[in-house]
Chains A and B, each alone.
Chain A
């Protein structure tokens, strides 16, 4: 793809506010549940530090691929999921995220893992997998496979539009005027806090650039450091006593 690798990585980890504009065409033609575009959906952007970033919905917001087989299966396994995850399940409902720097995962709309390989300036090669529960019956696995092909793949009704965004963001950043300025990632500034129960930074509202600040903050630390020893162990927001854990 003709883009810088950081755009897809950032997109999967923090760009909760692009769905309503970039993907409304796929939402209204039923390629997703549409949870992200519903005003009643709750959630938060969560970062445990070191640049890792997750977009989370509220515990009861459903964003599974909108196929009856998958929804039915998720309902069936819910008691076991609750048993295995315990109270954590009610605390955090991650639907998409990036393990810093370039490994992303998605649960909503499709089930996929990604690696964004930098292939030189403005070039990214994508490796993509669809994952399913090993124990799921064949018809559920098939439904998840097809949700992957149809939602998040080169032809995916969501992802083909994302690629245009990543390409155009990269192009815009190359502009003479853009290069004179810093990128503005102020959305929701001051409306995030360290959540002791989660052990992570969390935004107050589900639209925010708090995760962008975490992701690029960590990236900037890495780019500035001369050695691993020079690298701060805290996350990019700095100054928080809780953020030193690995």
Chain B
């Protein structure tokens, strides 16, 4: 893995921290501006799977057995969005009738374990990070969304933008009643 320029790593860290603050301050229109027009924003599901070597089960057809426990891109997901649908979700929040967020959730996004790697294209980097998003709502409701993100960040007209985000949540059965916040 070639070492990344430290300036770039620092820029990406600050970018992700600022993004988290925009989400927590509910500045969703400014957040949308951080996304490229061709963004793919995806939160996969998780399944319970035995590893191939497990003695607990007999795998009849090892060639067909999938060890990866995240849902594939053509399967159901918790979120599978593009710029247009994310914008529509934000527009929905602005109607004053989006009841899952009215009164709004209080959120705190903690972003850690940031690793920056060269991307597949020039002007792009691949960024790994972990997150803990705490959501408190109404009087005593609370949820913890904990997971990892793999982002593609692209340099557009001198600024970093998110061109892709894959979000892996570390739960099989989603324990929160819904997902009405962004990550």
Does A150 count as interface, using CB distance less than 8 angstroms?
A: yes
A161 touches B99 (CB 8 A): yes
Which 7 pairs show the lowest CB-CB distances between chains A and B? A155-B179, A160-B100, A160-B178, A25-B95, A25-B97, A25-B98, A29-B92
List the one stretch of B17-25, B73-81, B150-158 in contact with chain A. Answer: B73-81
Q: Using an 8 Å CB-CB cutoff, how does the interface string of B45-86 with A read, 1 for contact, 0 for none?
A: 000000000000000000000000000001111111100010
Q: Is the CB of B179 within 8 A of A160?
A: yes
By the criterion CB–CB under 8 Å, are A157 and B92 in contact? yes
Which residues of chain B are near A30, meaning CB under 8 Å?
Answer: 88
Q: Of all chain A residues, which has the CB nearest B182?
A: A155
A82 within 8 A of B: no
| Total A residues in contact with B, Cβ cutoff 8 Å | 33
Q: Is A195 an interface residue (CB 8 A)?
A: no
- A61 at the A/B interface (Cβ < 8 Å)? no
The closest CB in chain A to the CB of B81 belongs to A150
Q: List 17 A-B contacts (CB under 8 A).
A: A24-B95, A29-B95, A30-B88, A31-B88, A129-B76, A145-B80, A150-B85, A153-B76, A153-B77, A154-B78, A155-B43, A155-B179, A157-B88, A157-B92, A159-B178, A163-B178, A164-B177
Q: Does B123 belong to the interface (CB within 8 Å)?
A: no
Contact call A148/B76, Cβ cutoff below 8 A: yes
Instruction: Report the minimum CB–CB distance from B162 to chain A (whole Å).
Output: 18
CA distance A142 to B78 in the complex (A): 15
Contact among B75, B78, B91 with A155 in the assembled complex (CB-CB below 8 Å): B78
- Other A-B pairs beyond A29-B91, A164-B99, 20, CB < 8 Å: A25-B96, A25-B99, A29-B95, A31-B88, A31-B92, A128-B76, A145-B76, A146-B80, A150-B81, A150-B85, A153-B76, A153-B77, A154-B176, A155-B79, A155-B178, A157-B92, A160-B100, A161-B98, A163-B177, A164-B178
Q: Is the CB of A26 within 8 A of B76?
A: no
What's the minimum C-beta distance from A10 to chain B, rounded to whole angstroms? 17
